Amino acid sequence: MAETLAMDSDPEIMNRFLQKLGVPDKWRMVDVLSLEDDALDLVPQPVLALILLFPLSETYEQYRHEQENEILTKGQSAPEDVFHLRQVLSNVCGTIALVHSVANNTHHIDLNDGLLKNYLNDATGLDAAAKGALLENSTAIFEAYRELIQTTGNVDSDEPISNHFVTLIHKDGNLFELDGRKSIPINHGPTTQDDFLRDAAKVCRDFMQREPENIGFNVIALVSTD
């Protein structure tokens, strides 16, 4: 297993990584500068996914456990057509967020032959835990990121991990939160392709409102540049 490196919320690096994985250049990550309506109007459409980077904290961990306990009590099951994988390694939430973003939009994204397409083909029919284990063993994917990040001179695998990535997607008329540290996707209710960005922005604002003293939030969107 290749050593894994934590990912920065840098759209330029993410885009170079996605291209290495086989995502066509027309699909790119862009910064969402604000969650206010006027700023959201500037985000290119269509928006296929939103990725939220946020600081891990005791407040969030308590909320996460309470949320999962409530879901398990209700007996909610994972939708079969939502691609969700469990996080196995500590440094890979950024890679998982990108995989979640692309894997749930392959009806829009025509992947080139390569690392990600191979992984998704191999992951067909697996449950979330097995998908996570398969990714952990996909050495070539992590090596591709290591090779990329080494060209930036920003390699620091000893830095403690204090942030986490989650992905928001629109699937079959619902808005889902995908987090490798949660047992199933979180359904945040109905949405449409047209309303997705604003509905997902509201979920991001909910994260921020739970921890108003924290400023380490960042939002990135997967969009078409055509």
Cα atoms found within 13 Å of the Cα of residue 190, Cβ hemisphere only? 0
* Annotation says 93 is catalytic: yes
Burial class, 114, CB count within 10 angstroms (exposed 0-12 / middle 13-18 / buried 19+): middle
Catalytic residue among 93, 100, 170, 204: 93
E-only strand ranges, the chain: 27-31, 47-55, 163-171, 174-178, 186-190, 218-224
Cα gap 41→189, rounded to integer Å? 22
- What tokens does 152 get? 């930036």
Cα gap 145→132, rounded to integer Å? 17
Cα gap 51→53, rounded to integer Å? 7
- What tokens does 24 get? 């066509």
Q: How far is CA 174 from CA 124, 171, 195, in A?
A: 22, 5, 11
Catalytic residue among 100, 164, 170, 204: 164
CB under 8 Å to 155, separation ≥6 — which residues? 5, 146, 149
Active site residues: 93, 164
